[in-house]
Homo-oligomer: A and B are copies of this chain.
Amino acid sequence: MTSYQLHPIGHVESPLKDRSAAPRQPDEGAPEAWIVLDERYLPALDGLRPGTDVLLLTWLHGADRTTLTVHPRGDTTRPPAGVFTTRAPDRPNPIGLHTVHLLTIDGPRLHVRHLEAVDGTPVLDLKPLLTPAR
């Protein structure tokens, strides 16, 4: 099957330095962080407003792409579940989805609250929040 090439648009700057220290969910102590975009993408930010929530897509570059089942939350007393039923980073295409609150925008640097991605994580895209399913 054809494969496709992702070109990161920037990266995450965060005090979280490695995956073992990263919280599993953003309400479990995720810190403030910066999304630092390449300057060539500045026009694509036009209209983005501080104080709003946006979806951030990242590439979880430390992931094991061969993993198909995981013990939920790493708890080996629970039966393994298919990775497509979990948010586990280890999966065939390790795209991270994060809802982040934009604190400030300084050119191509976006200061955000509650981001569970580690320092250096490649950034792929920003989108408005999803609307609920019907």
CB pair A92–B4 under 8 Å, yes or no, is no
- Bound together, the chains give a CA A65 to CA B124 distance in angstroms of 12
**Closest Cβ–Cβ distance, residue A35 to chain B (whole Å):** 10
CB pair B80–A46 under 8 Å, yes or no, is yes
Is residue A103 within 8 Å, beta carbon to beta carbon, of the partner chain?
no
Query: Within the oligomer, what is the number of copies of this chain?
Result: 2
Q: A69-B44, A80-B46, A92-B44 are in contact. Are A55 and B8 (CB under 8 A)?
A: no
| Chain B positions within 8 Å of A100 at CB level | 133
| Chain B positions within 8 Å of A7 at CB level | 1, 3, 65, 92-93
CB pair B68–A44 under 8 Å, yes or no, is yes
Contact pattern, A 120-134, Cβ under 8 Å of B = 1, otherwise 0:
001011111111111
CB pair B84–A4 under 8 Å, yes or no, is no
| Chain B positions within 8 Å of A55 at CB level | 97, 130
CB pair A4–B114 under 8 Å, yes or no, is no
CB pair A133–B8 under 8 Å, yes or no, is no
CB pair B8–A5 under 8 Å, yes or no, is no
Q: A99-B133, A133-B100 are in contact. Are A125 and B45 (CB under 8 A)?
A: no
